[in-house]
Amino acid sequence: MINDVLDHIFHDAATVAGNGKFLDVKYFKTLTVETFSSVANSARTITFYSKGPSGVLKALAGVKVSASPLTTAVSTTGTGETWQFDVTGLHKVYMDLTAITDGTVSVHGRAVS
């Protein structure tokens, strides 16, 4: 069986805080997200959210797979990181850029069925 794959851009070179573009989960089960910045020492906070059938935003826990030991969190202040999320049954996913100083921040993802 071949899995469907969808590349998705939540934020691309963002310079101001904002929700970014949400991912419509559909039939996807796993989401892998990479965070990166144009300035290594800039400050940023990315908060992970999901939206289910109720339409209410809720914190979404992810696993940082770009470091050992693995870390679980609902937000990050890092850059150059890779996060994975189980999105089975969710309606939408947001990578909310809640703060940024200096440079740009990008958050790109890949959803797999």
Length of the chain: 113
Q: How many CB atoms lie within 10 A of CB 1?
A: 3
| Mean pLDDT, rounded, for 36-59 | 89
- pLDDT tens figures, 24-44: 999 999 999 999 988 777 789
Distances (CA, A) of 30 to 18, 19, 25, 98: 24, 20, 9, 23
**Verdict on whether the full-model pTM lies above 0.85:** yes
Q: Which domains does the chain have, with CATH numbers?
A: 5-112 (2.60.120)
Q: Summarize pLDDT for 13-22 with one digit per residue, the tens.
A: 999 999 999 9
How far from 35 is each of 1, 27, 55, 73, 102, CA to CA, in Å? 30, 24, 26, 14, 15
Q: Is 76 exposed, middle or buried (0-12, 13-18, 19+ CB in 10 A)?
A: buried
Give the other-Cβ count within 10 Å of 95's Cβ: 30
